[in-house]
């Protein structure tokens, strides 16, 4: 396999994955509606990789456009990122999430089937586990009732892919990607108010936000704040390359899922403290009420990804908070 369609390829995880694909000899083709990113990312990818990448500004719900792109570029596999991902927003606007995340997946699958493409790497999430009984969670841990419409779209997405017998799918269940490319040319760039912790930390530290709110400090954790498995986005991007390698080696394997995390759980306050310590910056933060849809604690058992995909995370928490800050400072210098 060489020609890979990357939906949402100018987004945070998508852009880092495109860079890794290029460096491993693949030819990615990007489709993105620029709903939560901007075209400038394409130029940044080119600066890092030294290669020009085909790009189409269109919506993944546009089945005809997808078919045309797939056939024009002789696409052999799809990495599907194009989805809304903010837990809190999904609670407030569930129909927006079902329309895009489920509707977009269905139109993509129709286009793939019509064009004879059967290989898919699906951007899934640890939210499929809901609030697990125990952590770390393995791929055999029960899929619980989702805590949010966003989480439910990932559960439904996996079920749809499992039911599509023509597909050869690897679902990567991401934990919490943070950090940025070491070049500081690409990173997490939410449009508007960030929904994720680290962009809010960096925007507060640089002075774009007056204060960071920690949502709840009365959870049953070591310091009362939520626990997550934070993984460097470059490590996560490399897992997609490993997933394509796996599909290439196992063309008759219908559906497989892998946890992609570090196997370590950190509290929100531990992330804040690490950011302050590594970057020598003091953050203005306050404790607020719990946020609807948030899970108390979850982190990954990554043994299967290590064993089967031959993938392991290589970057540390210090790398995550350092590269996040370097990315934010670079953005500020350009503004």
Annotated catalytic residues are: 150
- Helices of type H across the chain: 12-23, 40-49, 63-72, 87-92, 94-97, 103-115, 149-163, 197-206, 233-249, 268-279, 303-304, 317-334
Q: How many CB atoms lie within 10 A of CB 246?
A: 20
Give CA–CA dist 11/80, Å, rounded.
11
How, if at all, do strands 230-232 and 176-178 pair?
Answer: parallel
260 within 8 A of 171, measured Cβ to Cβ:
no
Q: What backbone phi and psi angles, to 5 degrees, belong to 305?
A: -65, -40
Q: What backbone phi and psi angles, to 5 degrees, belong to 56?
A: -125, 125
Give CA–CA dist 162/164, Å, rounded.
6
38 within 8 A of 20, measured Cβ to Cβ:
no
79 within 8 A of 121, measured Cβ to Cβ:
yes
* Helix/strand/coil for 126: helix
Give CA–CA dist 244/249, Å, rounded.
9
């Amino acid at each position: 396999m060489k020609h890979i369609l990357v939906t949402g390829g100018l987004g945070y995880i998508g852009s880092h994955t495109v860079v890794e694909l290029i460096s491993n000899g693949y030819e990615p083709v990007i489709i993105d509606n620029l709903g939560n990113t901007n075209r400038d990312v394409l130029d940044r990818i080119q600066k890092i990789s030294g290669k020009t990448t085909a790009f189409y500004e269109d919506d993944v719900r546009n089945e005809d456009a997808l078919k045309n792109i797939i056939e024009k570029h002789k696409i052999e596999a799809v990495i599907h990122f194009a989805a809304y991902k903010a837990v809190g927003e999904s609670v407030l606007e569930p129909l927006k999430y079902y329309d895009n995340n489920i509707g977009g997946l269905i139109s993509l699958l129709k286009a793939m089937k019509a064009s004879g493409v059967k290989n898919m790497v699906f951007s899934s999430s640890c939210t499929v586990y809901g609030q697990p009984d125990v952590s770390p969670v393995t791929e055999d841990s029960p899929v619980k009732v989702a805590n949010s419409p966003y989480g439910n779209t990932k559960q439904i997405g996996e079920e749809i892919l499992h039911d599509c017998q023509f597909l050869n799918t690897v679902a990567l269940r991401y934990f919490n990607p943070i950090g940025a490319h070491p070049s500081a040319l690409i990173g997490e760039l939410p449009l508007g108010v960030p929904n994720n912790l680290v962009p809010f930390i960096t925007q507060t530290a640089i002075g774009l936000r007056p204060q960071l709110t920690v949502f709840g400090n009365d959870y049953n954790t070591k310091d009362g704040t939520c626990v997550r498995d934070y993984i460097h986005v470059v490590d996560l991007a490399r897992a997609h390359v490993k997933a394509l390698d796996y599909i290439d080696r196992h063309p008759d394997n219908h559906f497989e899922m892998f946890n992609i995390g570090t196997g370590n759980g950190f509290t929100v306050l531990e992330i804040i403290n690490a950011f302050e310590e590594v970057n020598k910056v003091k953050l203005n933060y306050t404790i607020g009420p719990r946020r609807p849809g948030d899970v108390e604690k979850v982190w990954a058992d990554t043994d299967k990804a290590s064993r089967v995909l031959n993938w392991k995370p290589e970057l540390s928490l210090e790398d995550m908070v350092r590269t996040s800050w370097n990315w934010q400072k670079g953005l500020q210098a350009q503004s």
